[in-house]
Amino acid sequence: MKKQKNNFLILLAIVVMMPLLANGCQKGTTNLSQRTANNASDDSVEQSAVAVVKQMDADAKTVVLQDTDTQEQQTFSYNGATTIYSRNNVSMVMTQLSCGEIVEVSYDGSKNLLTNVQVAKDAWEYTDVKGENIDRTERDITVSGRKYQYDNTVSVFCEQQSLALTDLNEQDEITIRGIGTKVQSFQITKGHGFLRLSGQDAFIGGTIEVDQSIFMNVQEDMLLTVSEGEHTVVLRNGKLEAVEKVTVQKDQETLLDLSKYEPIQEKEGKVKFVVTPSGAALYINGKQRDVNRVLTLTYGNYNVSVRADGYQDYTGILHVQKSTGAYQTIYVDLAEKVENVQETKAPAVTSVMPTQAETTSQPTPTTIIATDAPSVTKAPDKEHTITVKEPAGASVYVNGIYQGVAPITFTKVLGNATITLAKDGYLTRSYSVNVLDDDKDVNYNFAALIAE
């Protein structure tokens, strides 16, 4: 009986101790959303977390933090007793921290009061990174040969203003911060503006190059998104070339007027060869040309040769100059080869002055740009469309090319694309989007433009 009583006392002691043991395990490091049990006695226990600085209010002495584990946000206060240190343990004030900074914090859970803040020692940071390094399809960014991942929880800032991921353009310069292989924040340190072309008629069909980083064909209505700062713009169309210096302000349009340039009138003549026998091969400066077509050649001298099996080759000099008619006709009559005869008749060549006889119009050549720069878009999906519904009345540009006025539907482009919206009296905006090859139509409703 005594033994049974002792066993009962031991069991009772264990039951009494279990809540105390449970409370003891709850003390220590927690995330921003956790709280200790029994608030009345344990909320004052100091807690800690690793978080991204989302927002600061120096007047109210508050700061909004986003937990790097749970991604939950919470507002904390701070006061003169709050200690703040850099990564190297140098004392700071709260206003010296940047939005997007990754910090280790300790706080009083009962008051949401920060007691200690330090820039996280385990966090990494890269500055002066180009926005073009972001792969929006794979959701990663490559810096110094290393690849880091990001997701929809990543924070984007310009100065102290919070932005959406679509506001981050490939022309921007950014600072990125993270822990391990995950990016926690993008901070735009150098933004972008817009370059509008005017009076570019002489260059349509040619090319435009901005700082050897943007290469495009020139079209009638263009609005390019470029980084803020000074740029060298080069336009070419045949022998016509323009080199202009422009300064682009952040979020502002800069107009480049090209109306002072006029098309160069090429000094060209047209030549028609009539060759006997038919089927002979015609070469001009070593390049074979179509003997059946009227050829357009710039003024000057050319080496001409005509060859045919069983006939003696002809070589000579062709002089192309200004003429009053449609074209100059050149007759070449090759002489047959004669074996065992030392002297042979030279081929007859007759130059006939220009005539109004048949002419062949030459199509305008299409300029194709080949560069080593990565392509931001893939071939268009002609089976599907993109529709920009809002903001209504805004001019819509895709990668600098005018599409129409919203609401507007156009052929679906694939991959990374920049959609720019412009309207008189309003600030121009651009958005960076990734258009998936998913066999679906795409619809966009962007925020209303802000009046100037």
What's residue 128's pLDDT?
Answer: 95
Q: Pull the structure tokens for residue 407.
A: 């609401």
Average pLDDT, the chain: 83
Which range, of 215-219, 243-247, 320-324, 339-343, averages the lowest pLDDT?
Answer: 339-343
Does the residue 277 lie in any domain? yes
Residues 214 and 178 in one domain: no
- Residue of 376 and 311 predicted with greater confidence: 311
User: Do the domain assignments include residue 241?
Assistant: yes
Same-domain pairing of 184 and 201: no
Domain check: are 110 and 134 in the same one?
A: no
User: 230 forms bridges with which residues in the sheet?
Assistant: 247
Calculate mean pLDDT across residues 145-150: 95
Is the same domain home to 145 and 201?
A: no
The pLDDT of residue 40 is 39
- Single out the residue in 70, 92, 119 at which a domain terminates: 119
Segments forming the whole domain that contains residue 331: 268-355
pLDDT digits (tens, 9 = 90+) for 393-450: 999 999 999 999 999 999 999 999 999 999 999 999 999 999 999 999 999 999 999 9
Considering the domain architecture, whether residues 177 and 141 belong to the same structural domain is answered as: yes
Last residue of a domain, one of 145, 167, 190: 190
Report yes or no on 13 lying in a domain: no
What pLDDT, in 10s, does the model give residues 185-204?
A: 999 999 999 999 999 999 99
Say which CATH number the domain at 278 has.
2.60.40.1120
Burial class (CB in 10 A: 0-12, 13-18, 19+), 68: buried
pLDDT at 45: 78
Assign residue 113 the CATH number of its domain.
2.40.50.320
pLDDT digits (tens, 9 = 90+) for 269-317: 888 899 999 889 999 998 999 988 899 888 888 999 999 999 999 988 8
Whether 173 shows a pLDDT value over 80: the answer reads yes
pLDDT at site 316: 87
* 164, 238: one domain: no
Whether the CB-CB separation of 381 and 414 falls below 8 Å is answered with yes
Select from 225, 257, 289 the last residue of a domain: 257
- Judged by DSSP in three states, 41 sits in helix
182 plus 206 within the same structural domain:
no
Tell me what the mean pLDDT of segment 111-124 comes to.
95
- The verdict on residue 29 lying in a domain is no
In this structure, what DSSP letter does residue 361 have? P
The CATH number assigned to the domain holding 242 equals: 2.60.40
**pTM for this model (two decimals):** 0.67
The residue that leads in pLDDT, 332 or 367, is: 332
Residue 53, judged by CB atoms within 10 A of its CB (0-12, 13-18, 19+), counts as buried
SS3 label, residue 414: strand
Residue 321 banded pLDDT, cuts 50, 70, 90: confident
In this structure, is residue 149 part of a structural domain? yes
Q: In the structure encoding, which two tokens stand for residue 390, read together?
A: 């809002």
**Higher pLDDT pick, 344 / 260:** 260
